[in-house]
Amino acid sequence: MNIGNVWTIARRDYRSYFNSPIAYIVIAGFLTIMGWMFFFNLSHFNAQAMQYQVFSQGKSPSITDGIIRPLYGNMNVIFLFLIPFITMRLIAEERKLHTIELLMTAPVTLTEIILGKFFSAYLLVIVMLALTLVYPIILFLTGNPELGPIAASYLGVLLLAGCYLSLGLFFSSLTENQIVAGALTFASGLFFWLVSWASQSAGPVWGDVLTHLSLISHYQNFGQGLINTGDIVYYLSFIGFGLFLTHRVLDSFRWR
């Protein structure tokens, strides 16, 4: 595999986001919602801390429980809605414009094409996350938050977003209709988000299986500032399986 080819494809697709309104709309919507949530959580936390000191005369709630954990937990929900808009065009547009045939006949492998497109979307997500670094900076300037939960939350969000991206890339490879690709990405992401809800009524064995399959259940440790190897392996395996399915779809398309 040629890393240069992967980077070339990723850079081309990343730039194409900013040649259309998609990147600007997604980033603006993301920052607007996150900004509102941050300042709402901050003001609510300050009000709770003041009430706690007045009535309990004790230690105020921690910033981790009051701001960091709910803020980054809600960020995962926002990405569930926004990432389909990022991934729906990656391959579906190529198929609709019949440029996928030109890309497949270029001196690049399917793996390089898939990774290039995947990392182009990942770069956009990383940019969006980088813009939210202003929130922990504000917390450090005005309070004394723990660095561990913040760093672990960012790592968890990155891995969870990667799972959404791999799903989106897979469904984008199945159809040339971007709306269909986006809808399937959102539906499948929501399924893997809510699948653990059925664990209580599924029995002990299947309940454990459903809980293990849930994307959000593996994020809980990150939200508490804990980095568990099993959670990282699950997320990376999920991403790898999504990219593998995309490879199989494009490989079958090539031989039609």
State the distance between the two ends of the chain, measured CA to CA, in whole angstroms.
24
The pLDDT, as a whole number, for residue 119 is: 92
pLDDT (mean) for 7-28: 87
Q: Distance between CA 153 and CA 156 in Å, rounded? A: 5
178 burial type by CB count under 10 A (0-12 exposed, 13-18 middle, 19+ buried): buried
* Angle, alpha carbons 121-148-229 (nearest 5°): 65
Q: 57 pLDDT band (50/70/90 cuts)? A: low
What is the percent of the chain where pLDDT is above 90? 28
Task: Render pLDDT for 70-94 as a digit per residue (tens, 0 to 9).
Answer: 888 889 999 999 999 999 888 888 7
pLDDT (mean) for 191-210: 67
Half-sphere exposure in the Cβ direction for 198 (13 Å, CA):
12
pLDDT (mean) for 162-190: 91
- 197 within 8 A of 213, measured Cβ to Cβ: no
Q: In this structure, what DSSP letter does residue 42 have?
A: H
Q: Say what angle helices 21-56 and 134-142 make with each other, to 10 degrees.
A: 20
Task: Render pLDDT for 216-227 as a digit per residue (tens, 0 to 9).
Answer: 888 888 888 888
The pLDDT, as a whole number, for residue 20 is: 81
> Which residue range(s) make up the domain with 75?
3-254
The pLDDT, as a whole number, for residue 164 is: 94
Rg (CA), the chain: 20
Give the dihedral of Cα atoms 189, 84, 165, 81; nearest 10 deg.
-60
Q: How many domains does the chain have?
A: 1
Is the whole-model pTM more than 0.85? yes
The pLDDT, as a whole number, for residue 186 is: 92
Q: Distance between CA 122 and CA 104 in Å, rounded? A: 22
